[in-house]
Amino acid sequence: MKTHTLLMPLDMHLHLRDAVMLENVAPLTAYSFSGAIVMPNLVPPVATLDDVVAYKERIMAAVPNDYFEPYMTLFYKNYDKAFLESVAEEITAIKLYPAGITTNSEGGVSSFDIEEMRTTLQAMSDLEIPLCVHGETDGFVMDREAEFMSIYELLATSFPKLKIIMEHITTKAAVDMLDKFDNLYATITIHHLILTLDDVVGGMMQPHLFCKPIAKRPEDLDALLSVALQAHPKVMFGSDSAPHPQHAKESCGCAAGVFTAPIALQLLCEVFDQFGKLDNLQDFVSDNAQRIYGICPEFKEVTLEERPFVVPANYGGVVPMFAGETLSWAIESID
């Protein structure tokens, strides 16, 4: 059977939630990944040094037997430089959410007034703390990311030494931004390398494929594939794996989020192999992120093989993407 080995896989955008959900899902990522950028949008959000330290302790308690590093983030607020200096050693990035645009983002940024944000963003630039951004407006749902490009341009030109990560990009417009500014980078999810909006709502609504930002058009999918498969040096894998209880997904108010953590590497192998680009997967899933963030993850060697793998119906009450379906790659060993 064909096999493929990945060294120190990294998930550069991950939701672990908290309490029982954290205990259920954190081991699934820790099993196959060396580390992950952990999102701070809890209730209340992770916004102080004590919050960061306590949340990391809860994560590590949930994965005591795995070699895994949670790279912690703060929920963006207008912090002063003294505070950022005090917390810099405990965080890898700060995550900015436009207010109310996604799960638990009500306390996010409501106005992108550069002068109001200058103290914080200049301090982040000086301290070399990357800014991760959920880049959507509150406009028409299919246009939200494209409409946000002007804000990325404003941030990138106002703070040219600030490393800005366009999170979970979904559009050709975002792909086109990558080469316009030296300080713009991006994460791409596995589900946005597979799905278009037609897969989500083209027939019967598929709640476990519904996420924000929503899957877009075929031409957007093609653009994402083009940079991911070539392992463009400014893109990296970030699952945006977002667990919700089954009842919250299978309801009239379907929660936004696709749960891919336990099957992400299998799906990545499937996609990259389909296009004859397996040799580029190492850069996409680890090496680019190490260079962009300047991190040195825990050593882990994950070998996958091309054989049928049936996705479980649920993991601890959370239904994954492609539940019950058969993938063509499976994890063979982890060292």
pLDDT digits (tens, 9 = 90+) for 146-196: 999 999 999 999 999 999 999 999 999 999 999 999 999 999 999 999 999
Which of the four pLDDT bands, split at 50, 70 and 90, describes residue 298?
confident
19-64 confidence digits (pLDDT tens): 999 999 999 999 999 999 999 999 999 999 999 999 999 999 999 8
Residues 212-224 have a mean pLDDT of 98
Residues 136-152 have a mean pLDDT of 97
Cβ atoms of 164 and 158 within 8 Å: the answer is no
Q: Return the pLDDT at 269.
A: 98
Give the closest residue to 132 by CA, choosing from 40, 66, 214.
40
> Domain 3-334 belongs to what architecture?
Alpha-Beta Barrel (3.20)
Cβ atoms of 145 and 136 within 8 Å: the answer is yes
Q: Return the pLDDT at 1.
A: 85
Which residue is catalytic, options 240, 273, 279, 335?
240
Q: Return the pLDDT at 65.
A: 79
For 22-61, give one letter per residue: b (16+ CB within 10 A) or e.
bbbbbbbbbbbbbbbbbbbbbeebbbbbebbeebbeebee
Q: Return the pLDDT at 12.
A: 98
Mean pLDDT of the chain: 97
Residue 235 in this model has a pLDDT that exceeds 80: yes
| Whether 335 is catalytic | no
The residue extents of the domains of the chain are 3-334
